[in-house]
């Protein structure tokens, strides 16, 4: 007797032959009733789901977040209390490349985290940069179009990218980071992560604080130059997967030191810059970082597709004690991320094992494709609310403090009164001469072949950051 399990159809019936199709004789055609053959071909046709429009190429692993500081004066969130250890999932990614893109490409990296807290899932869907290219979500789809393929040539277009950037000075900060050394990390372990948006924390007393989250690599920053990356990509397109998966498999568990910056509501009102503007950082000197814990990755997924490709992160996932801010980009992402998952994975994407909370889930959403979990109210008669059959009810203790909003409802002119130059200047002034040279070269490389007037329009913006910046790029363009 063999101890091997019996191969079955998806309906559980034993498969008599998985090597030979059912045919009308050795030289005859295949019979339509060979259901095992039909099922194999049909499943193969359905093995791909739509890839993410952005952040398609990714690498992920499980781990734990340990909190080592008492920040209860800022937040009541259980996940952020001293001593809390929360299981989590991280997915890193590039933004523009498709699912088969090479890993070592110059691009912003996604840094998406899902914390399976006892109060529900908290997702922090950030990047390896503290800022972004645009501050108004109205511009986001256009920006992404410039990073993707031209509709006719089906090629990536440097002209489109620089045309958009040179007409959008708010992008200067992020463009400078992207073209600096940090724009091409050696691996996910060798980069920082940032929550990027301003979020809020609120405590037991109902007091709100604005917060920025930072994850500082404990492995140290390591970067490729463009020339090094060309060689690496020529040899191996999967260097991030190899390094992250292989490292964890070998027992090397990467860590990030977790920090926050905090701003009171009163401080926010008189801050010299808009603290909810995604193109700005909060200067450390004014808003010092507070060490709050450590994040470690220590377990690989068993099935890449089920657990990493189907992982669905959304900034809409918050827990009591953590909330949103008036950041306009964050507000748009609260809608668009969950919406992307409903389209890509299906209505009940949060019931998939990798996305499912580890705490009890009770809701009245019903039916829809792939409802494999039944009615989640915990009571078959409770399929509406309010009801008198003891169905789940709201919990007022989860109510965040009211958010004061003033101003007239109007089209927000995101250019007016915004200084797009001082913070990139502060960054440029951090770079030594060699870093500046590489910055200029990386920009000149990326501008290869674009019309001269677009390059010059962009250099005029660099001039406004620092006269050496524009001049440096022009010199490399010659």
Cα distance between residue 118 and residue 323, in whole Å: 16
Q: Which is nearer to ligand NDP, 37 or 465 (CB)?
A: 465
283 binds ligand NDP (CB under 6 A): yes
Q: Which is nearer to ligand NDP, 88 or 281 (CB)?
A: 281
181 binds ligand NDP (CB under 6 A): yes
184 binds ligand NDP (CB under 6 A): no
279 binds ligand NDP (CB under 6 A): no
Any idea what the Cα angle at residue 356 is, between residues 353 and 360, rounded to 5°? Answer: 125
From 58, 60, 120, 130, residue interacting with ligand NDP (rule: CB under 6 A): 130
The window from 197-205, 245-253, 290-298, 425-433 that contacts ligand NDP (CB under 6 A) reads 425-433
* Residues 135, 329 contacting (CB under 8 angstroms): yes
Q: Which is nearer to ligand NDP, 215 or 349 (CB)?
A: 215
Cα distance between residue 157 and residue 450, in whole Å: 9
For every residue of 331-351, which 3-state class applies, written as one string? HHHHHHHHHHHHHHCCCCHHH
Q: Which of 76, 83, 79, 80 is nearest to 398 (CA)?
A: 76
190 binds ligand NDP (CB under 6 A): no
Q: Which is nearer to ligand NDP, 266 or 285 (CB)?
A: 285
Cα distance between residue 158 and residue 156, in whole Å: 7
177 binds ligand NDP (CB under 6 A): yes
Active site residue 127: yes
Q: Which is nearer to ligand NDP, 156 or 436 (CB)?
A: 436
From 40, 78, 148, 216, residue interacting with ligand NDP (rule: CB under 6 A): 216
DSSP classification of residue 306: I
Give the tokens for residue 319.
């827990």
Binders of ligand NDP among residues 52 to 111 (CB under 6 A) are: none
From 182, 328, 333, 414, residue interacting with ligand NDP (rule: CB under 6 A): 182
128 binds ligand NDP (CB under 6 A): no
Size of the site for ligand NDP (CB under 6 A): 16
Catalytic hit among 18, 43, 55, 371? 55
Cα distance between residue 127 and residue 197, in whole Å: 10
Q: Which is nearer to ligand NDP, 191 or 340 (CB)?
A: 191
Closest separation in Å from C-beta 282 to ligand NDP: 6
* Residues 82, 70 contacting (CB under 8 angstroms): yes
Catalytic hit among 121, 127, 128, 190? 127
Give the tokens for residue 106.
């110059």
Closest separation in Å from C-beta 422 to ligand NDP: 8
Q: Which is nearer to ligand NDP, 127 or 458 (CB)?
A: 127
* Residues 179, 158 contacting (CB under 8 angstroms): no
Closest separation in Å from C-beta 331 to ligand NDP: 21
Q: Which of 478, 449, 448, 475 is nearest to 462 (CA)?
A: 475
The window from 115-123, 180-188, 328-336, 345-353 that contacts ligand NDP (CB under 6 A) reads 180-188
Give the tokens for residue 384.
């509406």
Cα distance between residue 197 and residue 276, in whole Å: 7
427 binds ligand NDP (CB under 6 A): yes
105 half-sphere exposure, CB direction, 13 A CA radius: 19
365 half-sphere exposure, CB direction, 13 A CA radius: 13
Q: Given the structure tokens 């917060």, which residue do they identify?
A: 211
Active site residue 362: no
Residues belonging to the active site? 55, 127
- By the criterion CB under 6 A, which residues form the site for ligand NDP? 130, 177, 180-182, 192, 216, 281-285, 423, 426-427, 430
């Amino acid at each position: 007797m063999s101890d091997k399990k019996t191969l079955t159809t998806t309906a559980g019936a034993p498969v008599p032959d998985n090597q030979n199709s059912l045919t009308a004789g050795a030289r005859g055609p295949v019979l339509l009733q060979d259901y095992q053959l039909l099922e194999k071909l049909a499943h193969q046709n359905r093995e791909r789901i739509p890839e993410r429009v952005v952040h398609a190429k990714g690498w992920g692993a499980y781990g734990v977040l340990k909190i080592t500081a008492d920040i209860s004066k800022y937040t009541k969130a259980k996940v952020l209390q001293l001593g809390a250890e929360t299981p989590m999932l991280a997915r890193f990614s590039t933004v523009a490349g498709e699912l088969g893109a090479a890993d070592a490409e110059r691009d912003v990296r996604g840094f998406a985290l899902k914390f399976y807290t006892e109060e529900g899932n908290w997702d922090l869907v950030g990047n390896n940069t503290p800022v972004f290219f645009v501050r108004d979500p109205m511009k986001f789809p256009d920006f992404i179009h410039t990073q993707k393929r031209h509709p006719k040539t089906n090629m990536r277009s440097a002209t489109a990218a620089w045309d958009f950037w040179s007409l959008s000075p708010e992008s200067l900060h992020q463009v400078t980071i992207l073209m600096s050394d940090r724009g091409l990390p050696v691996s996910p372990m060798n980069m920082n992560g940032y929550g990027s948006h301003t979020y809020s924390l609120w405590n037991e007393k109902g007091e709100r604080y604005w917060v920025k989250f930072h994850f500082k690599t404990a492995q140290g920053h390591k970067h490729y130059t463009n020339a090094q990356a060309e060689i690496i990509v020529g040899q191996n397109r999967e260097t991030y997967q190899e390094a992250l998966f292989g490292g964890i498999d070998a027992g090397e568990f990467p860590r990030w030191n977790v920090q926050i910056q905090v701003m009171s509501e009163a401080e926010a009102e008189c801050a010299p810059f808009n603290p909810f503007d995604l193109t700005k950082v909060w200067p450390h000197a004014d808003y010092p970082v507070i060490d709050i814990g450590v994040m470690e990755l220590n377990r690989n997924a068993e099935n890449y597709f089920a657990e990493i490709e189907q992982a669905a992160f959304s900034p809409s996932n918050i827990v009591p004690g953590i909330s949103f801010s008036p950041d306009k980009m964050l507000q748009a992402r609260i809608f668009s991320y969950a919406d992307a998952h409903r389209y890509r994975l299906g209505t009940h994407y949060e019931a998939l094992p990798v996305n499912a909370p580890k705490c009890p889930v009770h809701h009245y959403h019903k039916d829809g494709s792939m409802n494999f979990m039944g009615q989640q109210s915990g009571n078959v008669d409770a399929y509406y609310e309010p009801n008198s059959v003891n169905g789940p009810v709201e919990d007022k203790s989860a109510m965040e403090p009211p958010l004061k909003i003033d101003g007239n409802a109007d089209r927000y002119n995101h250019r007016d009164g915004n200084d797009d130059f001082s913070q990139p200047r502060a960054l440029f002034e951090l770079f030594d001469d060699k870093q500046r040279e590489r910055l200029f070269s990386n920009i000149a490389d990326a501008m290869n072949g674009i019309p001269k007037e677009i390059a010059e329009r962009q250099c005029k913006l660099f001039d406004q950051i620092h006269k050496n910046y524009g001049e440096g790029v022009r010199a490399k363009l010659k």
